[in-house]
Structure 1
């Protein structure tokens, strides 16, 4: 995502001590999810059974405070749970991530005294499922601009007209967060953040047939007059940099939870790589296990060293967000950097493990081969590599003139 704020001198801060995260997902549930992942991928099917099991376990209410009918886990705790879920089924975790982003944003605002999304916490506590409908083809401004038209309805609400892409969880969401541009009001232009229901002028296309993350069913969404009443319009903001709490909440929650999903993929890949090294043998070395091969050992160690550096970053960022630490504009540099480092590290780790496992990972049904396809999706999520570097450059040098 482009930098939504003015420059900050430094992303550093002192991390508070973190307790052991609480868990919600049982090992049995995760093994059942893992057992379905290959079939969903093969059939390009949505993860219906996974969603039912996660809903029954209360996982979609994980970030919802107990006072709203939720479980009351913190962002750091859900980041750890999302990594565990991603290790079992990356596409399931990625799609559920988008629901967690909205409940996380609502929680972020509520804890900072902003009740504008308390209704979302109430709906999520009653079983509502939320989708994230912001991405658009050719729009690299993301939170700072929109190609979707937001037309005032005359009563404080809006209708939205445009096309959103990569709308994860498409078959299941009950309410979709959308962003559009109002160019006609007296104070225009204004970016309008709002929520629409499935039956309010929304068409979900069946166009998801991708290399990886197939079960996420992140389909395109056509908004043809999709209506958000006044009580579901959350913000009207001037385009451009802002420290509005909604934007800060979206950016930080989105980036942190994405980092955790791809870190979970890397952790599973490392497990599979270790198992492959112990299982495979070498005729060059009289049938000895590849676990005794110095080159293979180096690859495994190199991947583990890279992965070891990621969790302290996730814990610090998510833990400080839970503790209401105020980094101001520094949050954009911190979380954009976290997302890029986590996704790039994950891609490197999976690549190394494919090399360790050998040609068997090239077959479509191989789990490591599926992780290789899934992990590539990390480069497409905002903030991408270019945007993150722009964010850091701005924090160091100020904006371009």
Structure 2
């Protein structure tokens, strides 16, 4: 168990998409240094997250009318790709932050939006308390909001794989109310009855601290609860936006692994004696394999851009059944491909770099561990099913928020 997260230093306010990418690229270069050591030692990136908060990047989706840059989804996806190529664990931590900013955009009252968007602009972070263990399936949410004598609610339950909660100022909690409908309760991380346990022991994404959140009759004022179930009553992009960011993380892992492999072969590898060349980078078989891997990465990057543009197009045109279905399918295609590419390229790093690359001291296996762990987040096989039904029969994807 850890102490509550201290308030951040005052953050800057980023003006637009161009500044977002400039700041993201600079921070990614900074975070790349030390990423291998943080993973090997499981040293949690508190200082790096504070830098992220202070940079203004966590507020770039705040609507313009509330003082934010309100950047496009294409820019947001590229920001995540840049960060993930440098440090996939660090990139995953704010994914839920942006998801729950989006929940407020969709269902928050004007008063809730004014308050929470102000918090985000000040550099405060949202975590995640969503998944539960031991239930029938991922949507079998048993955490409850029950009436309290003061007119508010009491929040009780246990959440697992709560990425970002350990570092959060606010923890959005997915729970069911008396009507059995889904709501999101925004709870201060230091609220009475909240206990965040750093018990994450995944083989990859090791420094995400995706541990357990215990909620024991946590008091929640009524104006800190958002009716999330209403999001799915009509055309929506909640799942598409969330999955787009996961896709960007996978694409970033693939790109990072490819860059690491190329650097290793150029600077540390010896040519195979039968190749007849002086350096490994001149080996025609290695050149061929790098070309194949580069095609996979470029294809994943292109699908990511296509998916992000589809989300932006639907948002700009006004959400309807047709354009939200197109956007969800585009994101599903990008995510399914990126998941395969990340695992393949991260594994091929050893194939092209040779025996020495397997030394544990180099920690090059972090790319494969991160890819293999992160791509288990939700099954690509079901995305392929929905894509197939859409292409063959015109069946629109479901509105369950996971596609």
TM-score of the two chains, using structure 1 as the length reference: 0.82
Q: Distance in 2 between matches of 1:332 and 1:155?
A: 41
Say yes or no: does 1:131 pair with 2:123. no
Alignment of 1:57-206 (within 5 A): 57-107=55-105, 117-139=113-135, 141-142=137-138, 144-153=139-148, 157-182=152-177, 185=178, 188-200=179-191, 201-206=193-198
Distance 1:127 1:306, change over 3 A: same
Partner of 1:218: 210
Q: Distance in 1 between matches of 2:102 and 2:180?
A: 28
Q: Distance in 2 between matches of 1:385 and 1:258?
A: 12
Distance 1:227 1:95, change over 3 A: same
Q: Distance in 2 between matches of 1:212 and 1:135?
A: 18
Structure 2: state its 5+ residue gaps: 1-16, 399-403
Higher strand share: 1
How far 1:259 sits from its partner (Å)?
A: 0.6
Structure 1: state its 5+ residue gaps: 1-18
Partner of 1:56: 54
2:24 and 2:57 in contact (8 A); partners too? no
How far 1:105 sits from its partner (Å)?
A: 4.3
Distance 1:301 1:138, change over 3 A: farther
How far 1:139 sits from its partner (Å)?
A: 4.7
How far 1:73 sits from its partner (Å)?
A: 2.5
Distance 1:193 1:372, change over 3 A: same
Higher normalized contact order (CA 8 Å, seq sep 6+, divided by chain length): 1
Distance 1:337 1:152, change over 3 A: farther
How far 1:91 sits from its partner (Å)?
A: 0.7
Say yes or no: does 1:266 pair with 2:261. no
Q: Distance in 2 between matches of 1:315 and 1:156?
A: 46
Say yes or no: does 1:255 pair with 2:250. no
Most deviating of 82-91 and 153-162: 153-162
- CA deviation vs aligned residue, 1:32-66 (integer Å, no higher than 9, x gap): 21112122212212101211222222122222234
2:20 and 2:57 in contact (8 A); partners too? no
Distance 1:157 1:296, change over 3 A: farther
Most deviating of 55-64 and 332-341: 332-341
How far 1:222 sits from its partner (Å)?
A: 1.2
Say yes or no: does 1:322 pair with 2:312. yes
Q: Distance in 2 between matches of 1:138 and 1:341?
A: 30
- CA deviation vs aligned residue, 1:259-283 (integer Å, no higher than 9, x gap): 1111111111111222233332222
Most deviating of 250-259 and 21-30: 21-30
Give SS of 1:207's match.
Answer: coil
1:300 and 1:352 in contact (8 A); partners too? no
Give SS of 1:134's match.
Answer: coil
Partner of 1:282: 272
What is the aligned length?
A: 370
2:237 and 2:328 in contact (8 A); partners too? no
Partner of 1:5: none
Cα-Cα RMSD: 3.0
Distance 1:28 1:379, change over 3 A: closer
TM-score of the two chains, using structure 2 as the length reference: 0.81
2:132 and 2:159 in contact (8 A); partners too? yes
Give SS of 1:221's match.
Answer: strand
2:311 and 2:324 in contact (8 A); partners too? no
1:276 and 1:356 in contact (8 A); partners too? no
Higher helix share: 2
2:306 and 2:330 in contact (8 A); partners too? no
Q: Distance in 2 between matches of 1:244 and 1:372?
A: 38
2:73 and 2:309 in contact (8 A); partners too? yes
